Amino acid sequence: MAALHFGRRVGRAVKERIVRRKSSVLQGRLWHDPFMSAASCAIAERIPFVDLIVHVTDARIPLSSQCHLLRDYYQTSSNHIIALNKADLASRSALQAWMDYFREMNCISCEVNAHNKDSIRQFLSLIQRQVGKLRSDQDNKYTATVMLIGIPNVGKSALANALHQVGRIRAAEKGKLKHATVSPEPGETKDIRSYKIASHPNIYVLDTPAVLSPEVPDVDILSKLLLTGAIGDNMVEKKEIAQYFLAIHNSSEQYKKWAKLSSKDDDSFFLNSTAECLTTSGLQMKQKNQIPTDHTQDRVVQDVRRTLYETVTTFNGNIRSEVEMEALIVRQFTALQEAFHVSTECEEDAHDKVAGKLLNLFRTGRVGHYILDNLPRNIP
């Protein structure tokens, strides 16, 4: 499969850099530096003393994003929840298959979106039910602790903040809200912090620093960690990462959803799909406020989707061929320069800008929803 070829090419580049330097830079830090080693020890020491462990993973890579401290833990533990965070970025059908897989493995799992209050309420209810089962022989006067554990950039701190906010509203508690540091850059949480998320009984969630395995994973896992943003983009050129994404996209069915955008008269589609543009004055205001180079605008995103659809459907080559897939990707980079309104004065700079904008749209779910891990074949 051509996408696998592009992924392994990126993964090898990352691994070679790690081997060459005996360590890899992760946003100014080592792949597994002394701080991460200390954090791993601190987390491991606390695991036996918490009531419930929440293993936070990225729903797009349910296996590749598993934390080494807990990789085998859930198979024998009843006080462990696998939280598939960023569920809004994952393929719905594929995510359901993963939920079924974990159920077959007798694992407690749930999909969650840290930025959706309804999702957080359901997640909090699950935590409360599990804590209640574990403490069923006690009254509601005890205090329980829940520890969030995971690799960089899976959204642990965002979950901690959301649980804290929703939990306090439920309990009608007053006082200043605490906030965990949330950043799109991996590895921002520096220590273990506690946030109250429920009363009667009192439940506190522990947000922990992200940790990576001391052993560097294989190239397939490395490429997925890089594409989803779990490790820094400075590992390889952004263009190479974007090429990997395009290979995945071109091999999927995602582009077929944008067939309607291929119409030349897409203005009417845009008007019908954007409430703000239902009136002439609304359209004029939107056009006035638009910045052509802002790739997050609906108009630009629609252009990008149309470009991806048209470049794939008009391509006469065999996308299973690595060589022909590369030819298609070259064509797409050129077409995306226009969609993103990127200047063509310097091709190298233009491609870098296109790559950065495209990766941002992928990581925010605006150019399709994907799950990059395949289900294990040894399903009972």
Chunked mean pLDDT (size 10), the chain, 380 residues: 94 86 49 83 93 97 94 70 97 96 92 97 95 78 92 95 87 56 55 89 93 92 96 90 98 94 58 47 53 88 97 95 97 96 82 96 97 81
Do residue 46 and residue 153 come from a single domain?
Answer: yes
Do residue 349 and residue 240 come from a single domain?
Answer: yes
Which of 161, 186, 207 finishes a domain? 207
The pLDDT value recorded for residue 293 is: 76
Do residue 258 and residue 186 come from a single domain?
Answer: no
Answer whether residue 20 is part of any domain: no
Do residue 202 and residue 239 come from a single domain?
Answer: no
The pLDDT value recorded for residue 201 is: 87
Do residue 194 and residue 70 come from a single domain?
Answer: yes
Answer whether residue 170 is part of any domain: yes
Answer whether residue 22 is part of any domain: no
The Cα–Cα gap between 137 and 46 comes to 23
The pLDDT value recorded for residue 270 is: 47
Do residue 55 and residue 196 come from a single domain?
Answer: yes
Do residue 314 and residue 336 come from a single domain?
Answer: yes
The Cα–Cα gap between 315 and 330 comes to 12
Beta-bridge mates of residue 368: 366
Answer whether residue 377 is part of any domain: no
Do residue 195 and residue 243 come from a single domain?
Answer: no
Which of 207, 241, 272 finishes a domain? 207
Do residue 198 and residue 250 come from a single domain?
Answer: no
Please report, for the domain that includes residue 137, its CATH number: 3.40.50.300
The pLDDT value recorded for residue 174 is: 52
The Cα–Cα gap between 140 and 362 comes to 44
Q: Which domain holds residue 263?
A: 219-363
Percent of the chain with pLDDT over 70: 82
Answer whether residue 117 is part of any domain: yes
Question: Could you tell me the two tokens for 13?
Answer: 């580049």
The Cα–Cα gap between 11 and 219 comes to 4
Q: What is the number of structural domains in the chain?
A: 2
Do residue 158 and residue 274 come from a single domain?
Answer: no
Question: Which residues does 29 contact at the CB level (< 8 Å), separation at least 6?
Answer: 35, 36, 187
pLDDT tens across 134-165, in order?
877 677 778 999 999 999 999 999 999 999 99
Answer whether residue 166 is part of any domain: yes
**What are the backbone angles phi and psi of residue 58, rounded to the nearest 5°?**
-90, 120
> pTM of the full predicted structure?
0.86
pLDDT tens across 87-97, in order?
999 999 999 99
The pLDDT value recorded for residue 167 is: 87
Do residue 37 and residue 186 come from a single domain?
Answer: yes
Answer whether residue 264 is part of any domain: yes
Q: Could you tell me if 64 and 372 are in contact, meaning their C-beta atoms sit under 8 angstroms apart?
A: yes
Do residue 282 and residue 355 come from a single domain?
Answer: yes
Answer whether residue 155 is part of any domain: yes
The Cα–Cα gap between 165 and 181 comes to 14
